[in-house]
Amino acid sequence: MLPKSVRHIDGELWYSVYEGDNASLNYRVRKILHEEQTPYQHLMVLDTYDFGPVLVLDHILQTTTLDGFIYNEMITHMPLAIHPEPKDVLIIGGGDLGAANEAVKYDSVERVDMVEIDEAVVRLSRKFIPGVAGTGELDPRIHILYEDGVKYMAEADKQYDIIIIDSSDPVGPAVELFSQPFYEQVHKRLKPDGIMSCQSLSPVFNMFYLQHIRDVLGLFFNDVKTYSATIPTYNGGLYSFTLGLKKPPRDYKGLEPQGENRYVTPAILEKSFIQPLYVQEDLKMEEIHDV
């Protein structure tokens, strides 16, 4: 039996990812490389014609071989390029290893703790999506803990320079990662000049969640900044990330991403804070209006 998001159409396999009830992106699939129900979620790896092998959790597209670098570079380089000397990095989620691999491009980074609830995500990303997860030995600075990110945040006492919340969407195991108590813990676990970044969904289809994240971060952080990128395989194209910074607001200019990259440049990081007018108006973003 086919997984519910994969169907035969005219003799071909197609995977559909829905945004609400009324729109979907569809990919022609060469083969279902892997399918399992883990203790936490339904997991598939599909070999698509246009985007190569892709990771799908609870039927939502997470990472593709072809454009996975966009999301991973954007969620990681922004906080690391803003921070003057990031040493200790924590990633909550991030099982495809993309964010961890970006973080270790920074010379100052000494240790990356990656707390992923589901070891199957790491195992299968390493096996099927090496373009994102990397090949060969992991960078020795990356330490993977297979644990519940919420539990880790509540119990750990380590302080971090950077915390990246690289979660799936707020369905399934990631729901609590969008809650106020969790962000309060994130704030506590950051050093005085610490910075967090998180994915904050599509401003086109999920403005509710983006606004919620901005409101909740505003309770704890001195500065909250939303930035965006265009990700072809996410519904709506436009995708948002949000920063929480412990220090007072400043101009985030002259940012220098480190390493060999494919999406980010100094200019791309800087311009990603500028949103189309309709997004600014929806978010009442006075602070970046007509920058």
Residue ranges of the binding site for spermidine: 96, 166-169
Residue set of the binding site: 41, 96, 116, 148-149, 166-169, 173
DSSP the chain: ---TTEEEETTEEEEEEEETTTEEEEEEEEEEEEEEE-SS-EEEEEEETTTEEEEEETTEEEEETTTHHHHHHHHHHHHHHHSSS--EEEEEE-TTSHHHHHHTTSTT--EEEEEES-HHHHHHHHHH-HHHH-SSSPPTTEEEEES-HHHHHHH----EEEEEEE---SSGGGGGGGSHHHHHHHHHHEEEEEEEEEE---TTT-HHHHHHHHHHHHHH-SEEEEEEEE-TTSTTSEEEEEEEESSPP----S----SS-SS--HHHHHHTTPPPHHHHHHHT-GGGTT-
Compare residues 25 and 156 and give the one whose CB is closer to its own copies.
Answer: 25
Question: How crowded is residue 67: how many other Cβ atoms within 10 Å of its Cβ?
Answer: 21
The question of whether 166 is a catalytic residue gets the answer yes
CB of 220 to its own copies, least distance (A): 28
CB of 181 to its own copies, least distance (A): 33
Compare residues 13 and 129 and give the one whose CB is closer to its own copies.
Answer: 13
CB of 236 to its own copies, least distance (A): 4
- Residue 26, CA atoms < 13 Å, CB-side half-sphere: 10
CB of 200 to its own copies, least distance (A): 16
Compare residues 183 and 234 and give the one whose CB is closer to its own copies.
Answer: 234
Q: How far apart are the first and last CA of the chain?
A: 53
CB of 261 to its own copies, least distance (A): 6
Residue of 67, 113, 161, 166 marked catalytic: 166
Compare residues 12 and 36 and give the one whose CB is closer to its own copies.
Answer: 12
Kindly tell me the burial class for residue 73, based on how many C-beta atoms sit within 10 Å of its own C-beta (0-12, 13-18, 19 or more).
buried
Compare residues 41 and 101 and give the one whose CB is closer to its own copies.
Answer: 101
Residue set of the binding site for S-methyl-5'-thioadenosine: 41, 116, 148-149, 173
Compare residues 66 and 145 and give the one whose CB is closer to its own copies.
Answer: 66
The CA-atom distances, in angstroms, between 201 and each of 14, 132, 148, 161, 173 are 24, 20, 21, 24, 16
CB of 227 to its own copies, least distance (A): 12
Q: Give me the residues that bind its own copies (CB under 8 A), please.
A: 16, 20-28, 48-51, 67, 69-70, 204, 228-232, 234-238, 261-268, 271, 274, 276-278, 280-281, 289-291
Q: Which amino acids are annotated catalytic?
A: 166
